[in-house]
Amino acid sequence: MFAVVEIAGFQYRVHPTETLTVPLMQAKVGEEVKFSNILAMGEGANVRIGAPYVQGSVTAKVVAHGRAETVVIFHKKRRKGYRKRNGHRQHYTQIQISSIA
């Protein structure tokens, strides 16, 4: 069974027991989270597509919070001697899909 679920404005295709990295969520580690914005779900040739959503829910457990690798932003203006280096680390949450109902 699979489901296409909308989490924080992004669409993810999920299966039970799968681990995902999603944008930071305000939930504690070990907490259960329920998503109800399901765009499509099914198994094999049995696929239901929502208009816009399908009835059902996806439950997940928060595994960890963290920060991604550094993305380096480098600005330069040629022939002017202007150089500026900056970095950014995006916060994320890892979740494990428990069930699709």
pTM given for the model: 0.82
pLDDT for res 45: 87
pLDDT for res 83: 97
**Would you kindly state where each structural domain of the chain is located, as residue ranges?**
2-100
Cβ atoms of 2 and 43 within 8 Å: the answer is yes
Question: pLDDT tens digits for 30-46?
Answer: 999 999 999 999 988 89
Nearest one of 10, 60, 59 to 39, comparing CA atoms: 10
Q: How far apart are CA 76 and CA 81, in angstroms?
A: 8
Q: How far apart are CA 92 and CA 28, in angstroms?
A: 13
